[in-house]
Structure 1
Amino acid sequence: MFKAINAVQIHVSLDKIEPEIWRRLVLPASWNLDELHLAIQAAFNWWNYHLHEFRIGGLRYGDVELLTEDAFDGDPRVFNSRDVHLRDFEEGATFSYLYDFGDSWRHTIVVEEFGAFDVTPKHGSCIDGARARPPEDVGGVPGYERFLEIMSDKADPEHAETKRWCGGHFDPEWFDLAVTDKDVRNALRPSVKRRLHQPKPSQKRD
């Protein structure tokens, strides 16, 4: 008996950072781009404080009212992100997601495959990934590179203050699948709270 497609597997990676920071998610195919936005926020533990948009085939998708208010002359028209669903894409489709127009965290999204589960998924899940995302408001890719330099050099005059700013600890290689999967499963919960800082390892010594 034919099973209807009800899930999609996507790969999301941050642009212009090496080694790659990425997550692999399995989401309900019925979800729209607005719900995909919340899943990405959860997967990377972004705080959802800033504007975002999707770029698909040269078109912009997001909150029409907010993005229109923030638009510059010549910017493409904005379409409602709730009108596009994950099931509308084809396998192999690639598009971009921009979070925080100041820091400009651009993500590349690849639709890897669709699935037909016996039970239609009601929430998303994270099945793989690598590396910690940069701290919020660190200043984009250049700011993140400088942040890593400061954090790796205790003699840097900005080291102590920067360490306090990021919560006392930051490991760029950190990724916990169980924690991230739980975050993604709760992505659509109202008033969901994000961790302000990366969890500290219990055995870490300064």
Structure 2
Amino acid sequence: MPTLRLRVELLDVPRPVVRILDIPVETTLHGLHLVLQKAFSWRDEQQHSFTLGPSRWVAESAGDELPEWGVTAGDLLESAEGELVYTYDFNDEWRHSIRLVGTDRRYRKRATLVRGHGTSPLEDCGGARAWASILRDIDRAAAGELAALENPEAYRATFGEICPLEVQRDFASFDEWEKSFAMPAVKKVDVVAEPKASASKRASGRLSEQPAFLDPAVAENLLGAADRRGVLHALGEYFGSPLLTAMIHRHEATVCTMLSDVHAKRVGRTLKGLLQILPGTVRSQETEAEAFEMVDEINPGWGNRETLVLLERMFCLVGLGEQEEPGIVFTVDARRALRLTDIEFTHHLAGRFRSLRGERFVTAVLAFLYIAHGDAAAARLAELRSRTRLEEHEQLFDDLGEGYFPRRRAYPLACDLVFDRIYAISEPLARVVPKEEDPHDPGIYVTNVALAAFARECLAGLEHGNLLPEELVAELS
């Protein structure tokens, strides 16, 4: 019985949400966790556990808890008289019932999402009762009963000016658009993967820590190409991605590449203000509340701890903070930067991104290309190649993953690493300088003009020597 068929149902929700999955028999509980995250469109940002009777498995075991990477889902499901329960997010407590409903003699290396129905709840919405209230408001808005909404402010903050009928359609069923995300994502999961924390303890020196372009022979060719044609074209040739190439061409064709003072002030005021609030080894409730309020004023609904953590990671990346649990502390450079005006701070921050070295530099370049030109380039390329914009984005990260780790065909691992690095720059910026509605195409949201200008500023005057860490440049010279 090399393949197991599972029926997974989200419990306690007002409308059924079910996924039918085929998984290889050797799938670990951690591998199943990754599969469920993709199948239900969760973001894997909260804690989780599996329970069967009195036993409980978690990513990092402690006390009576067991490690989820040391046991296969098949061993538990085949012997289970009842159901295996997967709980995600211990605050909202999304509980999933997992039952074995069939087996297959055919062997599959990858998990497969066979079918599903019902759309998963919005993450961090407050749990099943809050989700039921949101669904009622969606139905009322679609019926034109806006005055009867239970929480009109939350509805507007979540769905903005999107047509209520479109919102209702999107949340009524597990439609083709959602399947186009979930089905390929499930297939890319490494079903025998270990939790990142566990894997990192045993993986020092593994290929995942050594991108291919840090090989001296590869690096020499990369530096030579960058010297001849510039950093962007060298990376475009190296990764060989059509979408990356399209973004580079779009960048070159952009007339306005420099930040105006108006845009620089907007970006600097926000980021400088948050940098003043965030650092401190012990963050008080008052400090958090102030930061939450500041983010919510800019982008309603994003004033939360996740956003603060992302901002901290970004500030640490450019040397304005140093990580100390549970937050960050100022560096000397940060104290100096905070004495600059908002406009000066923005240009200073752009210079810090440009001066990163090695992998951090490459990641920053990719992130800012993606911020400034990703959506528009993907839309144009998709039109030319008769594909969807989503397919172009997915192909980009496949191409980047293979470029970083060409000798390792584990796309899920490679692409997750690349995406995490780009996400660490692009996502916090998107949350504090959010997208805007396209004035020429109502209902379509595009990168904020100020943020796009900041991204182009970060891409101005890239030094090819920054492609590699100092120690490797010294070795090559």
The TM-score with structure 2 as length reference comes to 0.35
What are the residue-to-residue correspondences of 1:20-39 with 2, within 5 Å? 20-39=16-35
- Unaligned regions of 5+ residues in structure 2, if any? 191-411, 421-426, 428-442, 444-477
* 1:147 and 2:143 matched: no
Distance, in Å, in 2 between the alignment partners of 1:160 and 1:180 is 27
Give the conservation status (yes or no) of the 8 Å contact 1:150–1:162.
no
Shift of 1:91: 7.1
* 4+ residue segments displaced more than 6 Å: none
Shift of 1:136: 0.5
Amino acid in the other structure paired with 2:66: F
1:87-113 CA distances to partner (integer Å, 9 max, x unpaired)?
313277421000000100000000112
Higher CA-based Rg: 2
1:109-163 CA distances to partner (integer Å, 9 max, x unpaired)?
001122211xx31111011110100000010001101212333333333232231
Match of 2:222 in 1: none
Distance, in Å, in 2 between the alignment partners of 1:43 and 1:187 is 10
The TM-score with structure 1 as length reference comes to 0.77
Amino acid in the other structure paired with 2:188: N
- Specify which structure has the higher proportion of strand: 1
Shift of 1:172: 2.5
Work out the percentage of aligned pairs sharing the same amino acid.
24
Match of 1:137 in 2: 124
What are the residue-to-residue correspondences of 1:18-167 with 2, within 5 Å? 18-65=14-61, 68=62, 77-88=64-75, 89-90=77-78, 93=81, 94-117=83-106, 120-151=107-138, 152-153=140-141, 154-155=146-147, 156=149, 157-158=152-153, 159-164=155-160
Match of 2:326 in 1: none
Give the conservation status (yes or no) of the 8 Å contact 1:39–1:184.
yes
Distance, in Å, in 1 between the alignment partners of 2:161 and 2:72 is 38
Amino acid in the other structure paired with 1:126: L
* 1:172 and 2:171 matched: yes
- Unaligned regions of 5+ residues in structure 1, if any? 69-75, 197-204
Match of 2:357 in 1: none
Q: Secondary structure at the match of 2:130?
A: helix
CA RMSD of aligned residues (A): 2.7
Number of residue equivalences: 180
Distance, in Å, in 2 between the alignment partners of 1:121 and 1:130 is 23
Give the conservation status (yes or no) of the 8 Å contact 2:111–2:187.
yes
User: CA 1:24 to 1:52, structure 2 compared with 1: closer, same or farther past 3 Å?
Assistant: same
Shift of 1:20: 1.2
